[in-house]
Structure formats: structure tokens, C-alpha cells
Structure 1
Amino acid sequence: MQPPPTHTLRALLRETSYLPDANARRFFRRYIVNRFRAYQPAENASPSLDAHAVEKKRHGFGKRRDVSIIEERARAVRDQGKKGLNYLRRANNGEYTCLKKILFFTYGRIGKRKYALLEHLLRPDDPTAVLEPSPLQKLYYSNDRFLSFFDAPKKASPTDYNIAISDRYRRLKTTLRAQVQNEISLGREIKRHQINTPINNVWGRPMPIKRARNIVRKWYAETMTRLLPPLPNDEFDDMQAMADGRKDISLVKRRATRIELHPAEELPPADRFAKLVQDALVLETPSKADKCIRPRQIDARLMRRMYVTVLSYCSKLEWNERYKKWESVWGRMRGMKSDFNSAAHHDHLFAGVDEKGNLPKENQSRRHQTSPDGDERDTTRERYTVVPSHANFLPPEHPVRAASKLFEKKGRVQSESEASSTPRKPALTKNRSERRARKASTF
């Protein structure tokens, strides 16, 4: 039997209050409350300003659903709430993947907030200017919105056109170009910051307008799905300060479990056995949050590492007054200190290599080196470690040491003489009569 929706709501809000990030606590509390209000019948709604705001779609999470839709989706929505509760519990237990995904949702790398930030990025730089139809809208005879973000096609080669982002959306153009240059993405990378489309089709005829419009639509849909929109500057700077340790992280202590003032009386043996049988017949599979025996403690050090990971996928836009253009600033592993690689080390560990850790060419040209025994060996061809025998530790004048050297030299000379004296196999003759004559001459 599933718990009532109010119990699930309280459990979700309780787990939300334990998240180790202040922005995550505010975001998920607002998200959970609005999701429950969207699936609450209007007759059960409280007469508050937030309840009326749901009817007017002011929260961005969708308006209140119809009663028929609520009844149809009730079971699936309750399962989603239970799944989200287990995920929040695993994040509060210190699971790395769950906690990272919570931060990705909070800072708009995935989920609902990503498209809210993307909607701000898709607005023109000058909102007061009257936007006329773009060159691509005029060329393709369409008023679709995705065509308004592009300039007119320019011929890049005898067979291809290039379609770039319009200068009216310089923030979008700067963010897209910076992400492509830095090769940053959560999934597949964005290959180009502009469209490369052929002039003619496979039959050598001019590209049809409908086909050209579909090429632009497909590129726009794939690129906007993989694009990581920039964060507000104050939010990016706060996360950067927490990653560097310049700002305290707002961790929350978990509340202690309540103490039963009136403990339940012990059941008689017959009722105790009946309760045991009922609990065994439920057959509820424990969740991953319940199976966590040793939860990881979430401290400031762990959160700084999490912020460094999230910052590598975040950026902000800054206006350069000198060059009159937007600049995209990405957070790349800034949690480390600048003097991290300048620590003291032993010189003999890195002797004989350059700054990149490679051997110089003069050392690589030395092919023959002298072994401790005085023999010249080809060390470049040795693939395995040579284990010395007991004869190598004897003094040079010892007879066993001298005999071992003599045998080694004899073996080398013999192998070289055998290699030089082995006759070469005759080449196969093309004529059958020649082969028969050669075979008869051998007898």
C-alpha cells in the first residue's frame, strides 16, 4: 500500500532541507511544491497567492492539470515522487553521482533550469530594437523562429555554404563559439559553431528550399540540446569562491531522531506472530538508499571538489569595454592553487627528461650501452628485465665467472655462423619442366 501524497511531500521537503548547497535547497523546494500543486485538484487548493499563480503559469513548471489528467497519471506521478525521494536520500548519504546530478539540476546544466537560462540567451542583445525578418526567413519564405538566429548563407567553397549566427545575438554566438573551442559538453560534443550545408543535392541540382530549411532545423535542435548556457555572474562567482575556499559552504546538520515519550506496549506472542507473518507477505524490495550501510560524510572538502567538477561545465559572460564585445569565461579546475605544481621534489627522479617528460634526442640516439659486466649490448631491443645470475656477483678472476663469459661468446659466434651458413631456399620456378629437372638432379 502506497503512502498518501502528503506523506511523500513531507518526506521530500525534509530530504531537500538536508542538501549541502543553499541554492539546491531553494531550487528543489520550489520545484517539488509546484509539481505537487500542478497535480492537486483546484477544489482542494489553498486560497494563497502561490495557488493563484499556478493557474496563471507564473512559476514556469506548468499550469494546474485537469481532473481527468490527474486521475490518469496519479499512479505514475506517485512512483516518480517515490523515485525522487530515494534519489535525494542517496545524495544526502554522500553518493558522488547522485550529488553531482543534484548540482547539475540546480545550476542549469540539465533539466528545467537549463532551458530557462537558454531562453534568456536566445533573446536579442537589444530588446528595444524592432526586429525585422532575418535574411534566412526571407530566403526560405518562412517565419519559423529558429531561422531568425542566422545570417544569410555565404559561399565557403564551390560546393558548400556556411550559415553563421547573426550579430543580433552576439551572446549566443560567443557562448557557442567558446564551447566548441574548449571542447566542453556533457555528452557528444558540438562539432561546429556554424552550419555547413551543400549548395546542390545529390543529383547536382540546386538544393530545394524545404530540404535546406530542414537542415537548419536539425542543426539548431541538436546544438541547442547540447549547448550549456552561461550562469548569472553573481552565481558563478559565488560557486567559484566556494571552490577556492574563499567562501564558507552552507552545510546543514541532520536533525536527531525523535524520542518516543510513550513507547508501544509489547504485543502478546499470538499477535506478535501474526504481525511477523503480515510483514513477511508484503515483499517490499528495499531501495538503494536503504541498502547504504556506510554513508559517506559530506564535508567542506568533498563539496569543494564537487564545485570544481560542476564549474568545468559552467561559464559566464562578461562585457569587454575595450574591444566592445562579449567574452565567455569558463571555470576550468580553478579549485587548485596556483602553486600546486611548484612543490619541492627530488631532482634525481626527473633527471634526463625535458619539461614534457620525454627523453632528449641525444639520449635516444645512444643505441649501444655497456653493461656492468663490460659487454656491449643492444639495450633498445630489451623488452624484459634481465635477472642477473649468481656468476655476475663473483669477482672477475673467478673461474666460474670466466667460464660463463666464454660460453656466452661461443654461443654468439655459433649463432652468427649458423645464420650466415644456412643456404637460402631456391625460388619457385615458373616452368613445370624446370621443377622436374631440379628434382631429378637431387637424386
Structure 2
Amino acid sequence: MPLQIPHPNSPRHLYRHLLREATYLPLLCRPWITERIQARFRDCNEKPDPKPYIKDAHHYLRYLRSANTGHVNRMLRLCYLATGRVGKRRRILGRTELASSPPSNSDKLEERVALIKDPPREPDWLDNWSVGKIMAVAASQIQQQGKNLPFSMRRTIDPKRVIPKENCFGRPLTAKLVRNKLKKHWVATLRQLLPPMPRGEWEQLGTIARGEADAQYYQMPPRRKVAQPLLIDDSTRKSTWTDFVTKPIRALERGNSRKMKSLSGREDEDPRGHGRPIGVKVLSRRRLRRILYVGVWQASPTIEENPRSGKWSVTWGNSERPLARPKKKHLQFFQGIDKTGAPI
């Protein structure tokens, strides 16, 4: 059943509605979404023309209400936002987890300075990123293709195979042009890259995906009852007789469709209704874990460096669970055989 909650009129009332909807989200994405609502409201509070931001806020309010109603794809995207698979936190994780570590001794510092001086050039943003980490995560992400990742990685990540050695006249490229092409190549790679997560956060996400975390991660907070207005103002109705004269019926009835019902929150005027909204399910404990948390964990890598070889090892979340041990009533079917299935 879609929510019959009127949209607020004032920006402050809209801000309160957004914060209220954030309290109904699962615990995995609730803190990050709440922090982003507060940060965006502070950033847009002093804008000279707040109309476009208010329009976007109404869209996000409908999005949150649809996700809380049970729209799986929208709730999954909110979990992606909170874990850094898409959105602002993805860029934050990329800058922190894929950044080049500071030189540990004077020899490594001299090597880094030598790379800038030969050939001589000015330092740029690529010097702050670890190319080895990026190539390791990108190569591992290519092997994970086809597992419902939010991004698909390009097949060619080696810059030696992308950047040509000669121009169209058969002359070698200048050092500045090679550097610009190299930066353009890594920009295209970073746009499709899923940044690794810190080891502690990755392990906690795995615990949640396996169903071993606290019970609060698998419960949807109960919703308060919707307050009913004492007075009904006919002027606030969305459709008037002029709309039916000047607009096509398909535009007026679009919000009543099964696809848009969870966003619009409208009820069908036909007593038989149009059926259940598309993509909306009851988010039980089982569905929260299997549909949302496992999918997020599969799209989350973590990276470690081998202290001996210096190579980077990338590990992705795995949804495979060990087989449960048989119960006592099932053991009778396994009598007379060993663990490998051979007769004793």
C-alpha cells in the first residue's frame, strides 16, 4: 500500500520530512543517509535561488518513501551509497584507500623525486595515487564481471596497450602528451572502479551479510501512524477539471501505474486497482540479508600488500555459505558411508 503522506510546503518542513524518512531505513545505511541530508541542507541553506534544490529535495523524499515502502532496487542503491559503492563516499574511499603511501625512508623518497625529474615535469594529481593499487583492484574487478556489480570495468587497463608510441605522422609523442594521455586513461579507469573498503569495515559487512550480526541490522524500524488533517483543502488537489481538458489522460494517470505507485503514493480510483506496485516487496530479515546485504558485500573489495613480495592482494565478498550440518532425523540416510560418500 503506497504512503498517503502529503508533501510539505516550506523548506524546513521538507527537511524534517527527510530526516523522518531516514529514521525508517535499515541500520546499515541510516547513519550515512542522515548525515548527507544534514550536510546538503546546510550547503543549500544560503543559496540565492533555492528553488532547484527544493525540487531535488522533493524528489529525494519520494525516493526515500518508495525505498521504505519496500522497493528493493531503491533500497539497494541507498545501501550502495552508504558503503561507498556509488556516490560521494565512493570518491572519499578512492582518495583514502587508493592514495600512494608516504615514503618510509630516504631511498624511496629519492625514487619518487627521480620519477618527476626524469623526464622533468611538474607534479600533478596522479602522483598522489598508487597506480599499483589501481591496477590490482581493476584487474580483480574484471574477473568479477557478471556478478551484478554497480559498474562494469573496461577490459584494457594496461596503459602500455592504450597509449600509442607514435602519432599519425610516425613521430614519437612528446613527454607532456604522453603524460596527459596517461592521466586521461586513469581517469576513465577510476570512473568504473569500485574502491576497496577498510579491512575492519569490510569484515563487519561480511558479518552482516552472513547473518551473524546483531538483530537490529535485520529489522525495519516501525513507522508511526500518519497524521490525518482536520481540514481538507480542495485547492491542493493535484488534478482539476482544467487538467483533464488540457493534458492527456496518460500524463494524469501515470502516477497510478504499478511502476510509479510507490513514488507517487497515489491510490487507484478504480476499486479493483491496478495490482501490486512493481519492485516492491516486504523486506523481511531473510530478504534484507540475501537481496541487499549479500549484494553489497559481493561488490566490496579489500586490499592488502604482501610484505615479502610487495604485491597487492584483493579480496571480494563471497556469498557462498558452508552447508549446514544434518539433523538427527537426517543422519539415518548417511549410515554406512564415510565423509567422502564411499561405503564403509
Taking structure 2 as the reference length, the TM-score comes to 0.71
Which residue number in structure 1 is paired with residue 137 of structure 2? 175
Deviation at 1:126, TM superposition (A): 3.5
Deviation at 1:254, TM superposition (A): 2.0
The correspondence of residues 16-415 of structure 1 with structure 2, limited to 5 A, is 16-20=22-26, 22-41=27-46, 70-72=47-49, 74-126=50-102, 131=109, 132-133=112-113, 135=115, 138-139=118-119, 141-146=121-126, 165=131, 170-183=132-145, 186-196=150-160, 197-247=163-213, 248=215, 249-257=217-225, 264=230, 275-276=233-234, 279=237, 280-281=239-240, 286=255, 288=261, 289=263, 290-291=265-266, 296-305=281-290, 306-320=292-306, 325-332=311-318, 334=319, 336-339=320-323
* Root mean square deviation of aligned Cα: 3.3
3-state DSSP of counterpart to 1:329: strand
Residues 145 and 327 of structure 1, relative CA distance in 2, 3 Å threshold: same
CA–CA distance in 2 between the matches of 1:14 and 1:310?
25
Deviation at 1:297, TM superposition (A): 1.6
CA–CA distance in 2 between the matches of 1:277 and 1:82?
20
Q: Which moved more, 1:282-291 or 1:194-203?
A: 282-291
* Aligned partners of 2:133 and 2:312 also within 8 Å: yes
Q: Which moved more, 1:251-260 or 1:220-229?
A: 251-260
* Aligned partners of 2:305 and 2:312 also within 8 Å: yes
The unaligned stretches of length 5 or more in structure 2 are 1-6, 244-251, 268-275, 331-344
Which residue number in structure 1 is paired with residue 17 of structure 2? 11
CA–CA distance in 1 between the matches of 2:103 and 2:298?
31
Deviation at 1:318, TM superposition (A): 3.5
Deviation at 1:209, TM superposition (A): 3.0
Deviation at 1:100, TM superposition (A): 1.1
Q: Which letter maps to 1:34?
A: A
Share of identical aligned residues, percent?
24
Q: Which letter maps to 2:219?
A: L
Q: Which letter maps to 2:25?
A: L
* Aligned partners of 2:206 and 2:297 also within 8 Å: yes
Deviation at 1:231, TM superposition (A): 1.1
Q: Which moved more, 1:206-215 or 1:100-109?
A: 206-215
RCO (CA 8 Å, sep 6+): is it higher in 1 or 2?
A: 2
Which residue number in structure 1 is paired with residue 335 of structure 2? none
Taking structure 1 as the reference length, the TM-score comes to 0.56
Deviation at 1:137, TM superposition (A): 6.2
* 1:292-329 CA-partner distances (Å, limit 9, x unpaired): 86652211111112111112211112354565654211
3-state DSSP of counterpart to 1:298: coil
CA–CA distance in 1 between the matches of 2:168 and 2:298?
42
* 1:270-313 CA-partner distances (Å, limit 9, x unpaired): xx9xx546635496985642148665221111111211111221
Which residue number in structure 1 is paired with residue 246 of structure 2? none
* 1:118-149 CA-partner distances (Å, limit 9, x unpaired): 01123223465574436266326332222565
CA–CA distance in 2 between the matches of 1:189 and 1:258?
45
* Aligned partners of 2:99 and 2:128 also within 8 Å: no
Residues 123 and 149 of structure 1, relative CA distance in 2, 3 Å threshold: closer
3-state DSSP of counterpart to 1:318: strand
* Aligned partners of 2:100 and 2:128 also within 8 Å: no
3-state DSSP of counterpart to 1:14: helix
